[in-house]
Structure 1
């Protein structure tokens, strides 16, 4: 039965790939058909299939739909006002074209610490597209390092939810996890970001163009925002989210902490940032209400496609979980007689491949491994958190919302996304795991 479930899962993933590439179905249709195929042939009850699918769609879109819409609006304002190009020109002047991948990696890494991966993409990709337009370089050379910086912090570094959950499950020390994760994440991100981008941009030249955030020529604009206002506009969501995260440690009243936590939530931070952008990037530079309304409508329409894709990916993921695939992988891995760090890495990686969610993989693997290591001596629990986080980044593919976000926002084909994003995630995963093993030799 276990082998049968794994075979059906493999066939479902093949359906997604063939649907998009061979039959030319929209990814939403391919994912939905694959999810229904898996549900039916795995033996799920007919009365449970639709409910499971809808639960998965609602779970992922409940968190993402507002963030996607508001982040795209903010990106549009940065692009249309000329703020994106201002920042692009600043980086080009400050670092030079040869150092841009490094600048983008550290930007992604720093921004990625306080924000979710999806929010970081929406903040950084308008900047990536602006820099690509100004520098005329392959978009992969500037885009992949930024995404690598975001991804490695999402998988390893607290306060991201997966890392925090694993710390609680294992009983690890948060401060040590933060220290070790930074030591391991930076070199891992450099290898998976700037170095990989430098290598792959010579082999893969995207045939499409980004469609969700279009950068128009700003050269003839009479009034464009200053560099300071441009940076403030793009960093405002980050500033608000940092305030929200830091609220419990600022020794404020309970009411003030709740207010800061509210405005620091991603969707509220982006909403506030959009209104500030309407004023500082719009009204102050000659845009009227009708033009701003037109810009918002222009960028909202294409978001519908990516929302459908991500929602269908969420439904596919939930079917994978409810059909028992994650449990099958976990039970198979539990029987292996190997080091706890290796076990945690493999279980998290297999669950990540099956479900598509780094957070689900991290928390599920931690729940499986924690009882196994409870009676062992000499296990470094902090590095166990990092090894589990490294496994949760492995081999992102069609059931991962991040896969589709990167594909759509960078304008990549399915094949190009596998060659770039999937390989990048796998590099981050294995290099971070090797880093954890090396650190474990000295602590």
Structure 2
């Protein structure tokens, strides 16, 4: 029975990752093969399906993930991220330091992966908190909230982009709706959440020896205008494509905007420009720029593998006919597909830890529902992302990154990080459901 095969596959995935501590990529491949065989495919057919899934997933996403990582690395190495942060803080002043920090993290978070954003911004959090005379977590909680929310909801980050590919969603529309949902999630889980703590609860000691950040001098950094435009250029290009697509579908410029607004093209253009604005124009040699490129790509290999493994799982579900079975089950159900995919993503997130694995697996299971129910692929993408970003605990690398960088106890990490990711997840679901009433 197909549903039994899926349950067995998910349970096997949990055992391999949680009990045997196998790498997520290996676990996904094994689980995919087992599900295929259980559904009557020969081992050779199951392997062919896995290989096809690997290729189809990476084919559309490799450039997005690589160029996104490179753009973030160039921005970091040039001092562009520091320029954005310091300029925003000077503009808003100490009284609005928390708001300035949230906006900075949101903007920087468009171009940086969560882990990279933490490394770049946490030293600035310490500096900002000391200068403003406020507890470190008063600034730190909103900053990490903005970073993880952008990472989970907004393309061209790899998670939401990969999920959008599975559902066949428009990247541009997903980006626009994702930003709309991210804003209230960041406000509630960030600045408002910090008000629930006493001042002393937000105090932590800066960990010694954990950081060796480069502090750029004024003359070493690119201008604020250059930094901010380069950082958000991919979003601008993708948004333009979506706006033209919706407002003027027959326009003569549509072929051009369709090209430059595709995620891969937008990021390629942005990286080429960043090579100048963050590199050559700052006195760096091409060799130094390419060193940043190499370092960035080395850090995202595992992300590529996990996304590929999720694609393999999805392909087995399609080739074995399980997707049609799931679609048949949904024909007469009254359960909201948005809530269903959110629940699947949330359960897998709690069990597996990896938001990417949880989101991709949930999308693979729920993808057939879109055609049957007429659910919006973009909202299904955001619902899967919302489910997969929440409820972080000890099996999530992000939990330990936040714990160590803020030098918190286990208990305090649960009270802050775990709770704020859960708030983001729930607010995200509510936002998707509200949008579903109007779209």
Q: Same fold by TM (over 0.5)?
A: yes
Q: Does 1:135 align with 2:125?
A: yes
Counterpart Cα distance in 2 of 1:204 and 1:318: 46
Residue 148 of structure 1 corresponds to which residue in structure 2?
149
Q: Does 1:345 align with 2:335?
A: no
Q: Does 1:53 align with 2:46?
A: no
Matches within 5 A, 1:20-39: 22-39=19-36
1:184/1:432 contact within 8 Å kept: yes
- Kindly state the Cα deviation for residue 278 of structure 1 after the two structures are TM-superposed: 1.7
CA 1:284 to 1:397, structure 2 compared with 1: closer, same or farther past 3 Å? closer
Q: 1:85 aligns with which of 82, 85, 91?
A: 82
Matches within 5 A, 1:275-354: 275-323=272-320, 325-334=322-331, 336=333, 338=334, 342-349=335-342
- Kindly state the Cα deviation for residue 288 of structure 1 after the two structures are TM-superposed: 1.3
- Equivalenced residue count is 386
Q: Does 1:245 align with 2:242?
A: yes
Counterpart Cα distance in 2 of 1:140 and 1:361: 33
Residue 60 of structure 2 corresponds to which residue in structure 1?
63
CA 1:322 to 1:292, structure 2 compared with 1: closer, same or farther past 3 Å? same
1:87/1:227 contact within 8 Å kept: yes
SS of residue paired to 1:287: coil
- Kindly state the Cα deviation for residue 232 of structure 1 after the two structures are TM-superposed: 1.6
Q: Does 1:98 align with 2:98?
A: yes
CA 1:429 to 1:227, structure 2 compared with 1: closer, same or farther past 3 Å? closer
Residue 374 of structure 1 corresponds to which residue in structure 2?
none
Counterpart Cα distance in 2 of 1:75 and 1:180: 23
Q: Does 1:367 align with 2:371?
A: yes
Residue 428 of structure 1 corresponds to which residue in structure 2?
427
1:141/1:198 contact within 8 Å kept: no
Q: Which runs of 5+ in 2 are unaligned?
A: 127-135, 349-357, 391-395, 404-409
Q: 1:395 aligns with which of 387, 391, 414?
A: 387
Matches within 5 A, 1:133-212: 133-136=123-126, 141-148=142-149, 151=152, 187=184, 190-191=187-188, 195=192
CA 1:361 to 1:65, structure 2 compared with 1: closer, same or farther past 3 Å? same
SS of residue paired to 1:31: helix
Counterpart Cα distance in 2 of 1:133 and 1:349: 34
Q: Which runs of 5+ in 1 are unaligned?
A: 112-119, 168-174, 371-380, 399-405
Counterpart Cα distance in 2 of 1:148 and 1:263: 26
CA 1:333 to 1:394, structure 2 compared with 1: closer, same or farther past 3 Å? farther
CA 1:128 to 1:356, structure 2 compared with 1: closer, same or farther past 3 Å? closer
Counterpart Cα distance in 2 of 1:143 and 1:411: 11
1:90/1:227 contact within 8 Å kept: yes
Q: Please list the CA deviations of residues 315-338 of structure 1 after superposition, one character each: whole Å capped at 9, or x if unmatched.
A: 2333344455555555445554x4
SS of residue paired to 2:214: coil
Counterpart Cα distance in 1 of 2:280 and 2:176: 44
2:342/2:429 contact within 8 Å kept: no
SS of residue paired to 1:143: helix
- Kindly state the Cα deviation for residue 285 of structure 1 after the two structures are TM-superposed: 1.9
- Kindly state the Cα deviation for residue 78 of structure 1 after the two structures are TM-superposed: 0.7
Counterpart Cα distance in 1 of 2:240 and 2:177: 24
Q: Please list the CA deviations of residues 10-37 of structure 1 after superposition, one character each: whole Å capped at 9, or x if unmatched.
A: 322313432xxx5443332233233333
Q: Does 1:223 align with 2:227?
A: no
Counterpart Cα distance in 1 of 2:365 and 2:70: 31
SS of residue paired to 1:268: helix
Q: Please list the CA deviations of residues 379-417 of structure 1 after superposition, one character each: whole Å capped at 9, or x if unmatched.
A: xx9xx889866754453289xxxxxxx95899579x999
CA RMSD of aligned residues (A): 5.1
Q: Please list the CA deviations of residues 50-89 of structure 1 after superposition, one character each: whole Å capped at 9, or x if unmatched.
A: 1211222222211211111111111111111111111111
Counterpart Cα distance in 2 of 1:204 and 1:289: 41
Counterpart Cα distance in 2 of 1:36 and 1:13: 11
Counterpart Cα distance in 1 of 2:303 and 2:377: 32
Counterpart Cα distance in 2 of 1:179 and 1:279: 28
Q: Please list the CA deviations of residues 320-363 of structure 1 after superposition, one character each: whole Å capped at 9, or x if unmatched.
A: 44455555555445554x4xxx4333444467578844766776
Counterpart Cα distance in 1 of 2:282 and 2:114: 23
